[in-house]
Structure 1
Amino acid sequence: MSEQVRHVLTLQCPEGMGIVHAVTGFLVEHQRTIVELKQYDDMAAGRLFLRVEFAGDAEPDLMSSLREAFTDVAEKYQMDWQLRERGEKTKVLIMVSKFDHCLNDLLFRMHTGDLPIEVVGVVSNHPDHRSLVEWYGIDFHHIPVTKETKPEAEAQLLEVIDATGAELVVLARYMQVLSDHLATELTGKTINIHHSFLPSFKGAKPYHQAWERGVKTVGATAHYVNSELDEGPIIAQQVVEVDHTYGPKELTAAGRDSECKALSDAVRWHCEGRVFLYGNRTVVLR
């Protein structure tokens, strides 16, 4: 048998007749076998979201020939589309402050192959995690931030992103608010973990806010970053049950696992091409 290769095609476009037929017909024409196909028709918005994974024989210049051939289909249906090899690792830059549980989790999942990512660097406004990061053979960038030095620090961050070729920035409990300029610059390619079940308890000390309200569940939300604090499109959420005996310290401890799970899910789905941005919402085909 010839070597088999897999690709993932993702697209969104205005709703209409014959779109899925056109995509599957294209794959048949190019002798590709569909491994997984998921779609969502947002009838209210008149929008189709589709992700299809397919397999077939390896051929010279296969990716470029598929892309060129699919252009006519994409133009006909006004598709916003992307084609990539399945399993292709996304270059990720992680940003972190003092709490290291999400950083640890992402590095471990990368190391074991659980996440399709290549961590190309870690940026922190504190030096605490240098030894951990360098143990994995990853470059650690200490960029201190104060109110006065924030513009220079963010300029330095953009230089790191450019130098590493990072395709995704992950704020793994990075406890600095990004400027509107930087948030806009990184729109659609930055995921943040917020330690509450948004839209509840935005901003600082959400576990303390939750304790003051006597909540019976706490959670975590992974979302894309935009210029509004903790308002970006939500990708993944996790919750854990608590009760009246939990103080802020116990709530914080209870929430750590949910933070790690929500963030790793969001990173995985983004890197596998399962997340579609549409306005201030996401569609996640999983």
Structure 2
Amino acid sequence: MSVNDIVAMKGMEKISVLTAYDYSTSLICDRAGVDVLLVGDSAGMVVLGYPNTVPVGMPEMTMFCGAVARGAKRAMIVGDMPFGSYQPSASVAVENAVQLIKAGCDAVKLEGGSEIIGTIKAIVDAGIPVMGHIGLKPQTSSLWEGYRLQGRTKVSAMKLVQDAKALEKAGVFSIVLEMVASEVADEITKSVTVPTIGIGSGVGCDGQVLVLHDMLGIYEDIKPKFVKRYSELSKSIFDAVASYTREVKEGKFPEGSNTFHMSPEELDRFRKARKK
């Protein structure tokens, strides 16, 4: 999937996006037909155990992106630029974006609207596709106002529309709308020519994204209202691990089918050698 493929899906076919952080799950998601794999800095929370996404740095993101790139063959891979990797200057942002592309990503994602237009233009001018992200911005929301619905008032709704149009003009190929009131998300989707990818922003967006560990029921520290649980793997994994532990302690595992043996001839030679 290329940038042109994703853009062409607007108004024609809904875009399926999921986060991925490792080789094994990216391979599964890719085979299942996901259009875009977002290597999100949410990995800091669901994989590394950080309380939020702020501590995640470029070394971690580069590692996660490389692992996902080695698993996916069809899906487009978008790498999150972590907090601090693009705020210092446009030149620093370009350097870090290049790192993610070299790691295997097809594009990068930045959080922010009008305030980072110059940075986005610099990255796009460097030949790197950019996915925008407005509405709730996890990297900074925890520092300022917490995780709250965006676009609840006329003023904030107008600002979101303006930011979306500014991002489009700057050259982004798509825009993530996180926790935006559905009415506002619908208006933004109609106002821009690039696809919108919603998360907690209603069905009117051109596509949807969820954190894989949320929709599979693996990560339980936070349970956002907008997440639909397609499975409850946490319980399945717990039950499997508990069964394994019990069988190990009771001597029931490994069984004969899980064990390798020497040939009778070699076993006899080994035992004779041990007696000498």
Please, what TM-score do these two structures have when normalized by structure 2? 0.30
Higher helix share: 2
Please, what TM-score do these two structures have when normalized by structure 1? 0.30
Higher strand share: 1
Rg (Cα) greater in structure: 2
